[in-house]
Chains A and B, each alone.
Chain A
Amino acid sequence: MKSYDLIVVGAGIVGAACADYASAAGLRVAIIEPGPIGGAATAAAMGHLVAMDDDPAEFVLAHYSLGLWEALTDLPQAEYSRCGTLWVAAGEEDLTRIPQKLARLSAAGVAARAIDAEELYRLEPILVAGLAGGLLVPHEAVVYPPAVARYLVERARQRGAEFYPIHASHLEASAGVRLEDGTGLSGPVLVTTGCALPQLLPGLPLRPRKGHLVITDRYPGTVHHQVLELGYADSAHGEADSSVAFNVQPRPTGQILIGSSREYSATTSEVSMPMVQRMLERTFRFMPALRQLDALRIWTGFRPVSADGLPYLGRVAGQQDVWVAAGHEGLGVTTSLGSAHLVIDQLLGRQPAIDPQPYDPARVAA
């Protein structure tokens, strides 16, 4: 039986980051991925690198991870574009959120500033008239996640990681994995299979949360920042079965990527025209000028949602040498690098750079 220092199951952006960091630390790594690398939630994601600050633990992980992303800014295939994040206040209530948000970001050392109406329209002239202001986080960026995942896997392979393009059927009772073709691999296992987590680790609750994205033809210069409504977190963190929020992104190609929708009860990947309609109506409330642009494609994806909205990062209680990095919901791209460091540092017996306790999967069993 072939043996490894670490068997990473799943090569989405989180698994890819783990394999990359583990191989850099000198571990002999196996990567198991039957589908395209970064082909599931990673490919469906917007690729917005953002410090969501609503939950303290989520914010710490995102902020830590954003620092690690700085090492990839010059990678051509990452299509890294530091467009910044512009949070827009829809009304008076949203305006009241700004001071708190600004305080949280500033306390963590994230550059951010409040924007008055005049500057708002200078930054994004096509915003609907009558908005009161917003908040700009200038250093945030967008990337092309599946290409980054492929790059990280490739880098791990160059350091000797071995790639198995096949399904992992189950975890062995003694540390290891059984592959679909009957091959057994032995060694510590790190499960990074996102929405497919329950197949290997049924003890960790995980719900898929469907999203839709629409991308336009190329209209360079139409939108300049990733623009979101300040109420975005209400949709992202709310428990409503379905919700939409205004969230548009300028791609380096000049295309505009439009989100976002969230649905718990939708289980098939088909595009839902009513959901797209709701999402675009929300978009037009903020950017009516987008109405006349052509959409090229619509796609859907599923965010892996943990029991409490925070990812499971660490050793799986009650199993021999099984680790997990999954359940990142909509922040998997942003937090992938930080998650990888947090888990692999623990696996290596190193002190992680941030407190691992909030993400410990044992919290769920407890």
Chain B
Amino acid sequence: MTDHYDVLVVGAGPAGLAAATAAASHGARVGLIDAQATAGGQVWRHDVEHGDTALARRNVAAALEHPGVTWLAQTRVVGVEAGALLVEDPKNARWLRYRALILATGARELLLPFPGWTLPGVTGAGGLQALVKQGWPLRGRRVVIAGSGPLLLAAAVTARRHGAQVLGIYEQASADNIQRFARSLWRWPGKAAQAVGMRAQLVGAPYRCGSVVRRAFGETHIQSIEVDGPRGLEQIACDHLAVGYGLLPNVELAQLLGCDLQLVGVHPRVSTDAQQRTSVEGIYATGELCGIGGRDSARFEGAIAGHAAVGDDAHVARLQRHRQHARRFAELLDRHFALDPRVHALAEPDTLICRCEDVPLSALDGYTDARSAKLATRCGMGACQGRICGSALAELARFPRNGSRPPLFPARLSTLGSDPSSVR
């Protein structure tokens, strides 16, 4: 197997699959890598119990079964050099060389600290979906879904399909905002139908707006939560709380490669032009990485980048209209699911912010930059490399996250010890 690719695509979600398929359609030699064991990304993650949707199957097959595409599963990027990525899989490390690089690294959840959020049984909302599709047992469990954004409905549907008793969905955005959002959806009929379909599957599970989970209680596992809603404080006994406050672009690789970023509020995304070109020659960024817009904008942007990377400008031009339409949905999300200040005030002085190093909020008082805080308190020094606490602290207006350095994720020492000149 060659380690040289015309086009190397990082991330096998909707954007990366579309990019790989588009680039390979022109005869390019394409490498497609993803840290997960199966392709599909988070939105099309393989469900061990229920299998995949037809749409997911079709899109995954189009890329993986194309003879021009080499699929590298469980492969994570560790470091970069000019024109090459250092990657490792469960056994080996190697350098992958490329002419064009398409980043489709997707998004992660914004997870915000509140008292009790470190208890087993508390996960992200997307986190719950991901775990359940991996086979996490939920049958008969009492589950509360909370946080913000359309993902909550999807998480609730997944939980219910796997036998969970969904006690309720608690959305922090106000009822007014949610109604305005719902009224705007007619311009995206697919999404409107999806929303209606999901609500229909969730009959009996209350959907409460303007509601924030203030704390979780339990000794060694979650037992109950306290919700602050329009009707006051409410205690709910549950076995699982899935709470996520929307999605954040995974910009770390783009940042390490030197691509220009821009801030949306306090969180960075990658800047691109209409052909998905970043500020670095030969590097494209697509999908959630360029701002949270969902599956459709990811697919169009992935296809645009795949065609652009091999010079098919006509194809790129034809897709522009779709891209713009899908991107407007991103703006709608930003507008209607903006976070309520209550959410920023949930953490108490003794609430742990850095879960890797167990650093409480009070220890961070007085620090105005991530590096000083890290040197003094170990906040952000752990295995997640500040992905969880750094994004949370940016959201809480303490200080922004640090820049990006290799290894991008914790990596085997043997990988870092592999010789770049060994790639010929």
Chains A and B touch (C-beta atoms under 8 A apart): yes
B420, A292: Cβ atoms closer than 8 Å: no
Q: Mark B70-90, 1 if CB is under 8 A from A, else 0.
A: 000000000111000010000
A280, B405: Cβ atoms closer than 8 Å: no
Question: In the complex, how many residues of chain B place their beta carbon closer than 8 angstroms to a beta carbon of chain A?
Answer: 27
B405, A281: Cβ atoms closer than 8 Å: no
A147 to B363, CA, bound (A): 14
* Residues of chain B from 75 to 119 with CB closer than 8 A to chain A in the complex: 79-81, 86
Option from A36, A150, A290, A299 in Cβ contact (under 8 Å) with B413 = A290
Q: Mark B24-58, 1 if CB is under 8 A from A, else 0.
A: 00000000000000000000000000000000000
A292, B405: Cβ atoms closer than 8 Å: no
B411, A295: Cβ atoms closer than 8 Å: yes
B410, A292: Cβ atoms closer than 8 Å: no
A216 to B371, CA, bound (A): 19
Within 8 Å of chain A (Cβ to Cβ): is B203? no
B372, B385, B411 — most chain A CB neighbours (10 Å): B372
B417, A292: Cβ atoms closer than 8 Å: no
Q: What's the count of A-B pairs with C-beta under 8 Å? A: 87
Within 8 Å of chain A (Cβ to Cβ): is B412? yes
A65 to B355, CA, bound (A): 37
Q: Which residues of A contact B381 (CB under 8 A)?
A: 296-297
Within 8 Å of chain B (Cβ to Cβ): is A356? no
Option from B86, B372, B407 in Cβ contact (under 8 Å) with A295 = B407
A258 to B417, CA, bound (A): 12
A291 to B417, CA, bound (A): 8
A147, B413: Cβ atoms closer than 8 Å: no
Within 8 Å of chain A (Cβ to Cβ): is B376? yes
* Residues of chain A from 194 to 225 with CB closer than 8 A to chain B in the complex: 214, 216-217
Q: Mark B398-424, 1 if CB is under 8 A from A, else 0.
A: 000000011100111110111111000
B81, B411, B413, B420 — most chain A CB neighbours (10 Å): B413
29 sampled A-B residue pairs with Cβ under 8 A: A36-B371, A36-B372, A38-B375, A39-B371, A39-B375, A146-B375, A147-B376, A150-B376, A216-B413, A271-B79, A271-B405, A273-B79, A274-B421, A276-B416, A277-B418, A277-B419, A280-B414, A281-B417, A291-B417, A292-B412, A293-B413, A294-B383, A295-B411, A295-B412, A295-B413, A296-B381, A296-B407, A297-B385, A298-B406
A residues near B (Cβ < 8 Å) are 36, 38-39, 43, 146-147, 150, 214, 216-217, 258, 271, 273-274, 276-277, 280-281, 283-284, 290-299
- Which 10 residue pairs of A and B lie closest in terms of their CB atoms, listed nearest first? A280-B417, A291-B414, A36-B372, A294-B410, A146-B375, A273-B79, A296-B410, A295-B413, A271-B406, A276-B416
B residues near A (Cβ < 8 Å) are 79-81, 86, 369, 371-372, 375-376, 381-383, 385, 405-407, 410-414, 416-421
